[in-house]
Chain A
Amino acid sequence: MTGSPKITSAQVAHIAKLAHIPVTEEEKEKLATAFTETLAVVDQLQEVDTADVPTTHQVTGLENVTREDAVDERLMFTQEEALANATRKHNGYFVVPQVIEKD
């Protein structure tokens, strides 16, 4: 069995950035420990023989579920409904502090 990884605070910081979760230094330490523990349990999976076993992403066995190209107004929001819970809005738009570029 491969040794399970010991997760570091630096790794936690990286993950937090990817996940857009704000974490304090203290939280990073705690999370690093929690992750290490969890991964130790998860690593048991390596014991299982999965050679030639396909992955299951969909237990229903369904395939080719599509819809016709038609507009369904019943399910559409009005502008008011769309903005009903917005933290900030202006002239029918959602408002966010300016972001320069995509991550």
Chain B
Amino acid sequence: MSLNTLTLKQALDGLEKKSFSLDELYNDLETAIGDENKDINAYLTINEESVTEAKVKSNKALKGVPLAIKDNFCTEGLRTTASSTVLDNFIPAFSSTVTRKLTDAGAVMHGKTNLDAWAHGSSTETSQYGRTLNPRNLDYLPGGSSGGSAAAVAGDLAIASIGSETAGSIRQPAAWCGTVGLKPTYGRVSRYGVVAMASSTDSPGPITKTVEDAAILLNHMAGHDPQDGTTSLTEVPDYTQFLNQDLKGLKIGVMYFDISELAHLKEYYQPALKVLESLGASAEYVQAFDPHYAISVYTVVQRGEVSSNLARYTGIRYGQDRSHFGDEAKRRIMLGTFTLSKGYADQYYNLAQRVRTLYIQDYQKLFGKYDVLVSPSSPGFAKKIGATEGAAMFGELEDLLLEPSSIVGLPAIGVPCYRDEKTNLFLGLNIMAPMWREDLVIKVGDAYEKATSWNTWRSNE
């Protein structure tokens, strides 16, 4: 078996037992990447020193395993572009807290993956380094903005990966590529050294082959960071302890099926709900605050914060000047500037932040009655290449179902819950829990994954 198809857990176990060496693991991975990355374009940069680095830390917790890192995480000495030519030649002299923690734990930053430039998008098509293809079906898109990370994992060009979510950017590509994607609570994982998109919702998180892999990575990523004033002092449990549990007594609220866009998906998700019930949970359809407003809230807040966060890219201290921004970046910066400008801030920005409060209150109400909430990850399967052209708000509409939980900051996980045999495309189940309750999403996601065969790695066991 090619070692690149291993899960993170299998790779760690194998290295521990010396079933194979780091050389062999990296070799298989490099071969796969060499064969397929030129078509899939999941990776923008590969770290040539990887295996050398790996051997030095083979006795650490993560044993020198290679990870694929979304290219909006600053990695010291390794090119970081955020998929924009503005940063084409940028080699950071420092690392993000997340990659530093993973490196300290023994992982190797093996490669930087493609994304929608500046994380602006839901298809990875705004990357200035070409689009990434969906390894499940090369005529289709992988989703975004963490499309490169999801594709790397789905195509077994990576053992596991790291992405980031502002409004769906972990869960949506994970769903489109048939992988697991975990978005931690906002403030659970440090944003220091991650190219800022929307500061008030950005959440780094793992995109992996199994829920167990996500739990392992989260253990090393989560925690308070003195360098990030928005991280919580809440203790970090060992997330792997929440695996292998049943769901007895768990009350699940099922959201959004009353929306017209989702009517056609009900038949795909009924079986998923049945599985959850068979594991001991009770599931009930619920009424929630219309998610369409979340699109507007997110659009305004995000673009405002983006226009501010991208003001530092002037080409003076690093990178190239602002004429290098791509069209989507220009659009977002300018719209954000507009909604923050004199005379409009109240009408747009402040109003959006008030509606945001309504979503917080709505979720609080729902979590008063239910332990977790579920919904589809996406209004449909992955889109074909070319389907998104010309749609100004494509991304926001695609992330419709994920934006409410993103702007509120809730933890959530996406797991594959259906595969179309003809197209080989997937649907994802989005599982949300109250703030700081990653344990619940891991428990439910893991239980569901093990009780079904949609996960293409687990079903090989």
Contact = CB atoms under 8 A, between A and B. Distances in A.
Touch between A and B in complex, CB under 8 Å?
A: yes
Interface of A: 7, 11-12, 15-16, 18-23, 27, 31, 34-35, 37-38, 41-48, 50, 53-60, 62, 65, 67, 75, 77, 81-82, 84-87, 94, 96
Nearest to B352: A45
A60 B355 contact: no
A86 B319 CA distance: 7
Contacts, number: 145
The residue among A31, A48, A57 with the most chain B CB atoms within 10 A of its own CB is A48
Given A60-B409, A85-B318, A96-B316, A50 B296 contact: no
A60 B230 contact: yes
Given A19-B333, A38-B392, A44-B296, A85 B338 contact: no
Contact of A19 (B94, B299, B307): B307
Interface stretch (B48-56, B85-93, B167-175, B447-455): B85-93
Interface residues of B, number: 61
B295 A18 contact: no
B358 A48 contact: yes
Contacts of B323: 22
Contacts of A67: 226
A18 B335 CA distance: 11
A45 B229 contact: no
Interface of B: 89-94, 186-187, 200-201, 226-227, 229-230, 232, 292-293, 295-297, 299-300, 307, 311, 314-320, 322-323, 325, 330-331, 333-335, 337-339, 341, 348, 350-358, 360, 392-393, 396, 407-409, 435
Complex A-B, nearest 7 residue pairs according to Cβ-Cβ distance, in ascending order: A85-B318, A55-B353, A59-B409, A81-B93, A50-B354, A65-B229, A19-B337
Contacts of A59: 186-187, 200-201, 360, 407-409, 435
Given A45-B351, A50-B354, A75-B227, A60 B232 contact: yes
A15 B299 contact: no
